[in-house]
Every structure is written in structure tokens, then in C-alpha cells.
Amino acid sequence: MGMTITEKILAAHAEKDRVSPGDLINVKLDLVLGNDITAPIAIKEFRQIGVDRVFDKDKVAIVPDHFAPNKDIDSAEQCSMVRQFAHEQDLTNYFEVGRMGIEHALLPEQGLVLPGDAVIGADSHTCTYGALGIFSTGVGSTDLAAAMATGETWLKVPSSIKFIFKGHLNPWVTGKDLILYTIGKIGVDGALYQAMEFTGEAISSLSIDSRLSMCNMAIEAGGKSGIIAPDNKTLDYVEGRSHRTFTAYHSDEDAAYAATYEWDVADIESQVAFPHLPSNTRGISDVGDVAIDQVVIGSCTNGRLEDLRIAAQVLKGHEVDKRVRCIVIPATQDIYRQAMKEGLIEIFVDAKAAVSTPTCGPCLGGHMGILAKGERALATTNRNFVGRMGHPESEVYLSGPAVAAASAIAGKITSPEEL
């Protein structure tokens, strides 16, 4: 019996020839990650362990991105504590405001995570890096503390679900639509504790940015990880970003899967998730009349260059509806700079959208676009739980960047085809 890509990566990091779903293993980690919300608890727990230094100062990344730039005094105190720890430990990969980006856009961009790696992060969207053929998963602060001290973590080897996407994508459909469609089909615990392996010609046709969007939301189906086997696009993407050697793993033909789904993407149109679960999806043609107060284009799901290019393509020559606030958040400083070079920022400003420095900000109801009671937002983010973007009686709808930009112009949820 062969192994899946996930089993191969985990076996290699547990120094075993093979592993099987359900095995409890100790895994050596290539990178561990924390942010300004999760690192403060991890640092307190780290102090209890009885070691002075982190296991490897090059392999602990800390990114203050959630409530940074500091939104208030309490957040400033949390960022200050994290900063002091990073300096005390001389961490190579601490990213201060100005160098910082949203962690799951920043780490792949900076070449800190490479194909074949095993990564944990104290942030649920750490599963994003699977797009590069990496095993990566979210954990809590105490797991982060233990990993910072030892460079290892315990894991149960997940069984894998195979998702085969056949055919050619419809216009405006991106990785975000495919993952929303998937979650709509299997539910928010449809892949609980499992690895979601995405494959098929439609996946091969996706850009790396779109693949990162897809794996980012594996957690919204309860998944432990999302993964896409590396191909030439992956190798082109990582080239020049790191001097570290890496291994591209692929699933064996006879690997075992807990389930297999096969969909023709010709049947998949742009998707919108209605409140209050990411699984509450509908095709854009079934949305009906939904007026909105705010649009957010950004986040670890959709704040990358491809997303900004799509949003700008839709917004160019138009203005945001007068009743709508449209907030665009490039996910990293490099993305911001490139968006400036390409004239995208000018298009956003001309369209009367507000452009922000990188931050998770509104996605988790932190800052930079909080909703009042009764307000409704359409966001390219990843969660639409009750109160996610502000008041418990506000609403969040989720979509990709094309529908978000078109909706900002129309003042209601709209397909770019209808403009």
C-alpha cells in the first residue's frame, strides 16, 4: 500500500519509513509560528518549561499582524511583550510593523516555508502553506510554547480525503470559489481531523495565489491540513526565495483515502457564503437581492497580488457605491509595493476605496472596519460567524475578490458579469 503526500512528509519528519492514519508520532518541525494574539500566552508558558532559549532562532517566526499596527493600549502591551521576547531570543524572523505582512501571505513570500516542510503555527489558518506541498497545521499557544522549546510536536497522522477538480474554470472563478464550494458540499466539520488533498487539472491550472486561498480555508471544513502536490508552478514560485534545500513529495498511485470527491468545475460558478457559517454557500446566480454596507478585500485568504489585480480589473473606471465603505488591504509590504507599481492602488483610490497597510484587522473584528449593529459586509475573508467583524447583530458574507469588487460598485451582492 502506498502513502499519501501527507503521510510521506510526516514519516520523514518522524524519522520513520512509513506512517498510517491514526498513528501518534513525534514530528520534527521546520518552522513554528506565533502572532500578537497567540504568542503572549505561548511566551508565558515557554517560561514555565525550564529552557532559556528557543530550539533554533531561525525556525521561530513571530508576526504581529492581528491587532497591529497597535489598535489600542492593551494591544500595544501585547505587541510590546512579543517584541521584547523576539529581541531577547534574537529571532531572525520577527517582522516589525513596516516589514510585517499577514503571516500566511508573508511566510511563503519570504521563502520561510518550502515544499516537504512540516510546520505548526498558533493560528488556525497555518494550513495555508499546504498549497506548496507542505504539511502545516494550526495549534494553540501551549503547543507553540512546547514547540519553541523542543522543535517538535506530537501529532496524530490524519487520514486524507481526495478532492479531484476536473475541467476548465468558468470566468471569474478562483481558488476561493472552489474551496467555498467544497465547504458547502461537505460542511464545516466535513473533514474533521483529516487532510484535504486537492488535485485534478483545474487545480493544476490555478495560480499559486489561488492555491494558497484554497488550502487557507481547509480549517473551515474542520480539516487538519490542506495540501496540493508541488508542480512546476510551485518550483518556479519557491525559486530564489530561499537557499534551503527541500523535497517535493507526491502521493503514490495506490495511496489510501478515507473518501474521494470528484467535481467538474464547469458546474461551479462564483460562490457566496451566507451568514453565519462558511458552509452556507450559494452560487452567485442564486444570491438574490442583498444590499451591503461594507466590502473588505484582503486577509490571509485573499489579500495577495492576484486578488488585488482581479479587484482592480473590476473596479477600474467605476466608483464604489456611495452607501458602501470599500476597504482594500494588501497582505504584505511586497504586495503593496507591486500593487503600486502596477497602478492598482491608484485604481482603488480613484474608485473611492480605502487602502490600508497590511493587517488582519477587520477579518476578526479587530480594527480597521468594524461593523455596527445591523450592518452587513461582503468580505474576501474566511469566516462569517456571528459577530466575526463587529457587533453580534451584524452580518458577514464571504466571496472571492471579483464578486467583492463588483458588489462594492453595485451596493449589493453582484456578479462582475452584471456590471
78 binds other proteins (CB under 8 A): yes
Task: Give the C-alpha separation, 270 to 217, whole Å.
Answer: 16
Any idea how long the chain is? 419
Grid cell 474566511 in the structure block, residue? 382
Selected range binding other proteins among 65-73, 169-177, 348-356, 411-419, rule: CB under 8 A: 65-73
298 binds other proteins (CB under 8 A): no
64 binds other proteins (CB under 8 A): no
Task: Give the C-alpha separation, 111 to 58, whole Å.
Answer: 12
Query: Distance between terminal CA atoms of the chain?
Result: 52
Q: Which of residues 72 and 418 has its CB atom nearest to other proteins in the complex?
A: 72
397 binds other proteins (CB under 8 A): no
50 binds other proteins (CB under 8 A): yes
Select from 40, 133, 151, 369 the one that contacts other proteins (CB under 8 A): 40
8 Å CB contact between 147 and 27: no
146 binds other proteins (CB under 8 A): yes
Radius of gyration of the chain measured on its C-alpha atoms: 20
Select from 16, 18, 28, 41 the one that contacts other proteins (CB under 8 A): 41
143 binds other proteins (CB under 8 A): yes
8 Å CB contact between 82 and 36: yes
41 exposure class (CB count in 10 Å sphere: 0-12, 13-18, 19+)? middle
All 3 cell numbers of residue 317? 473606471
358 binds other proteins (CB under 8 A): no
Select from 141, 281, 299, 302 the one that contacts other proteins (CB under 8 A): 141
Residue 1: which of 13, 12, 15, 17 has the closest Cα? 17
8 Å CB contact between 363 and 296: yes
Q: Which of residues 324 and 396 has its CB atom nearest to other proteins in the complex?
A: 396
Selected range binding other proteins among 92-100, 143-151, 199-207, 314-322, rule: CB under 8 A: 143-151
Phi, psi of 190 (to 5 degrees): -70, -20
The b/e string for 146-158 (b: 16+ C-beta within 10 A; e otherwise) is bbbbbbbbebebb
Grid cell 447583530 in the structure block, residue? 393
Q: Which of residues 43 and 113 has its CB atom nearest to other proteins in the complex?
A: 43
Task: Give the C-alpha separation, 359 to 71, whole Å.
Answer: 11
Select from 365, 369, 400, 401 the one that contacts other proteins (CB under 8 A): 365
375 binds other proteins (CB under 8 A): no
Q: Give the shortest CB-303-to-other proteins separation in angstroms.
A: 18
Q: Give the shortest CB-355-to-other proteins separation in angstroms.
A: 23
Selected range binding other proteins among 44-52, 82-90, 111-119, 237-245, rule: CB under 8 A: 44-52
Could you give the residue ranges of the DSSP H alpha helices within 139-206?
Answer: 141-150, 175-186, 201-205
| DSSP bridge pairs for 195 | 160, 225
59 binds other proteins (CB under 8 A): no
| String of contacts with other proteins for each residue 195-224, x by CB under 8 A | ------------------------x--x-x
74 binds other proteins (CB under 8 A): yes
DSSP secondary structure letters along 37-88: TTHHHHHHHHHHHT-SS-S-TTSEEEE--SSTTT-SHHHHHHHHHHHHHHHH
Q: Which of residues 103 and 321 has its CB atom nearest to other proteins in the complex?
A: 103
Select from 80, 150, 170, 205 the one that contacts other proteins (CB under 8 A): 150
277 binds other proteins (CB under 8 A): yes
Select from 88, 192, 262, 267 the one that contacts other proteins (CB under 8 A): 192
Residue 129: which of 240, 21, 246, 3 has the closest Cα? 246
Selected range binding other proteins among 102-110, 115-123, 234-242, 327-335, rule: CB under 8 A: 115-123
CA 346 to chain centroid, in Å, comes to: 26
Positions in the binding site for other proteins (CB under 8 A):
24, 37-38, 40-41, 44-45, 48-51, 66-67, 72, 74-75, 78, 121-124, 126, 138-143, 145-146, 149-150, 154, 156, 188-189, 192-193, 219, 222, 224, 277, 364-366, 383, 385-388, 392
